[in-house]
Amino acid sequence: NTKILCTALASRLVMGRRLATAQWLALMLLTAGVVLGQWRGREGADLTPSLGAVLMLINSCLSALGGVCTERLLKAKQSSQLSIFATNLHLAAHTILWNGGCLFAEAVSAGERLPTLSAPGLVDAIAVVNEALNGILISLLMRRIDAIAKNYAFSVSVFVTAGLAALVLNHRPPWNFFAGALVTLVS
């Protein structure tokens, strides 16, 4: 939930984007709507340990910074000359190299054999294709909109998906889900 506001701050720091007071209020309303929609009442009343809360805040800030940096890369002159597939391949190559290097270093430092790769099962393959298509769609959107608008789209999609699941699966969300969706819509 803090990622929404962290993204606005990262947009200011990295891209120099200034938001009007009304936009900041809208972002606070969006954050409140998401919090309200996810609130679990007394069942989730256990307090999060301080270290866990700090780590989640750091995670939100790093994720927001990554989103804004990705937006900056996608909107750069060099990227605009590449197809969206070439840009995604370029971005994914860094991820694959970094993660592969970490796996290799971890296996070597633990004195273990290197992990072997195997063909994914049907469900895994569907998940990978879904994530790849999602990445391409997000990249297309990020060339035209900013990371803040992407957070709005994602927040709205969560409520739409949950609403459709409620209709299809006959699940009745609690009142706060509808209140959160309304606050998100108002934002």
* Largest CA-CA distance found in the chain, in angstroms, rounded: 56
Q: What pLDDT, on the 0 to 100 scale, is given for residue 158? A: 73
Secondary-structure percent of the chain, ordered helix, strand, coil, rounded to 5: 80, 0, 20
pLDDT band per the 50, 70, 90 thresholds, residue 41: low
Residues 6 or more apart whose CB falls under 8 angstroms from that of 12 comprise 18, 19
Pure H helices in 16-83: 21-38, 50-75, 77-80
pTM here is 0.63
Mean pLDDT of 138-163: 74
User: Phi and psi at residue 55, in whole multiples of 5°?
Assistant: -65, -40
pLDDT band per the 50, 70, 90 thresholds, residue 178: confident
Cβ atoms of 153 and 102 closer than 8 Å:
no
What mean pLDDT, rounded, does the chain reach? 80
For 106-120, the pLDDT digits (tens) are 888 888 887 777 888
Q: Is the pLDDT of residue 49 over 80?
A: no
pLDDT band per the 50, 70, 90 thresholds, residue 103: confident
Q: Which of 168, 154, 187, 162 is nearest to 178 (CA)?
A: 162
Cβ atoms of 37 and 177 closer than 8 Å:
yes
State the helix-helix crossing angle for 147-169 and 50-75, rounded to 10 degrees: 110
As a whole number of angstroms, the distance between CA 15 and CA 101 comes to: 30
Mean pLDDT of 25-38: 81
- Residue 132 CB neighbours (<10 A): 12
Mean pLDDT of 126-133: 80
Mean pLDDT of 9-29: 88
pLDDT band per the 50, 70, 90 thresholds, residue 23: confident
- Residue 171 CB neighbours (<10 A): 10
As a whole number of angstroms, the distance between CA 14 and CA 137 comes to: 23
Higher pLDDT, 126 or 37: 126
**Structure tokens belonging to residue 156:** 């709205």
As a whole number of angstroms, the distance between CA 68 and CA 146 comes to: 8
**Structure tokens belonging to residue 135:** 């990445």
